């Protein structure tokens, strides 16, 4: 099943509740929340208080993507604030097995993320623990970047490994997902599609319609999934 996870990074934060509700009306079924610390990535975003506020405006799962150096310290706080899914970067976890179990111990789904330069092979020993694997299709840090096509083979690879090893993780993609790229990622095996600019627009008043944008993306994604079958 294909799911759309709008990234609030590109939303108008002064109208966050309204924008999240609009994306939800357009068919979004997960809300993607980008947490950045200014160390692991060259940008700063939000912390647990915003997750707590979001929790009050939507019943959809909150997918917290931690782009921070010390995720273990913050996992309990995001879980308490209302996160349902928490993902951590392979590149910062010295004890990835332990960190994924820590997420699960807080009753959240546990995800592991790989940057464009990180191979799928680095996840071999945790694929049976992860509930989902997030393939970054841009270098993390900013919304509105150009999709990197060379990351597609990692979605295919994850899909093949899942069948071969009879595992259950889901495959998520994040970065540059838009009408022009959505069919490629779906055909490569991505099932949870994160999209920021393509849902919330880029400050362009003509594109400021999250409901319509979400509907359009989901329609294109569903059509690509039908062709794939």
Rounded distance, CA 61 to CA 71, Å?
20
**Residue 134 CB, nearest approach to ligand DX5 (Å):** 9
Name which of 174 and 215 has its Cβ closer to Zn ion. Answer: 174
Of 37, 63, 131, 174, catalytic? 174
Q: Binding mask 172-191 vs ligand DX5 (x if CB under 6 A, - otherwise)?
A: --xxxx--------------
| Residue in 11, 2, 5, 4 with CA at minimum distance from that of residue 200 | 11
Q: Is 215 helix (H, G, I), strand (E, B) or coil?
A: helix
Is 3 a binding residue for ligand DX5 by CB under 6 A? The answer is no
- Let me know: does 221 contact 173? Beta carbons within 8 Å: no
How far out from the chain centre does Cα 91 lie? 16
- Let me know: does 113 contact 154? Beta carbons within 8 Å: no
**Residue 156 CB, nearest approach to ligand DX5 (Å):** 21
Work out what residue 144 binds among ligand DX5, Zn ion, none; the CB cut-off runs from 5 to 8 Å by kind: ligand DX5
| 204 annotated active-site | no
Name which of 65 and 170 has its Cβ closer to Zn ion. Answer: 65
Of residues 63 through 122, those in contact with ligand DX5 by CB under 6 A are 65
Name which of 8 and 102 has its Cβ closer to ligand DX5. Answer: 8
Burial class (CB in 10 A: 0-12, 13-18, 19+), 11: buried
Among 138, 182, 192, 221, binds ligand DX5 (CB under 6 A): 138
- Let me know: does 122 contact 97? Beta carbons within 8 Å: no
| 208 annotated active-site | no
Structure tokens at 190: 């991505």
Judged by the rule CB under 5 A, the positions of this chain that interact with Zn ion are 34, 65, 174
Of 34, 37, 63, 131, catalytic? 34
What value, to the nearest 5°, has the Cα angle with vertex 108 and ends 103 and 111?
Answer: 65
Binding site for ligand DX5 (CB under 6 A): 7, 9-10, 32, 34, 65, 138, 140-141, 143-145, 174-177, 194-198
Residues catalogued as catalytic: 34, 174
């Amino acid at each position: 099943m294909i799911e759309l996870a709008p990234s609030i990074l590109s939303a108008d934060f002064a109208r966050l509740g309204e924008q999240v509700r609009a994306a939800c009306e357009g068919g979004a079924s997960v809300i993607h929340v980008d947490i950045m610390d200014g160390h692991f990535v060259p940008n700063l975003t939000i912390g647990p208080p915003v997750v707590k506020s979001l929790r009050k405006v939507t019943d959809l799962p909150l997918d917290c993507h931690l782009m921070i150096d010390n995720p273990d310290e913050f996992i309990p706080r995001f879980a308490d604030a209302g996160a349902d899914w928490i993902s951590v970067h392979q590149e910062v976890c010295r004890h990835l097995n332990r960190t994924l179990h820590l997420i699960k111990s807080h009753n959240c789904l546990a995800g592991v993320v790989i940057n464009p330069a990180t191979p799928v092979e680095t996840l071999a020993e945790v694929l049976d623990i992860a509930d989902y694997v997030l393939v970054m299709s841009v270098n993390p840090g900013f919304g509105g970047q150009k999709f990197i096509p060379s990351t597609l083979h990692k979605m295919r690879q994850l899909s093949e490994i899942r069948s071969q090893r009879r595992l259950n993780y889901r495959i998520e993609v994040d970065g540059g997902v838009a009408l022009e790229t959505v069919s490629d990622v779906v055909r490569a095996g991505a099932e949870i599609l994160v999209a920021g600019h393509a849902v919330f627009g880029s400050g362009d008043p003509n594109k400021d319609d999250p409901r319509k944008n979400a509907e359009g993306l989901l329609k294109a994604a569903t059509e690509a999934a039908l062709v794939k079958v």
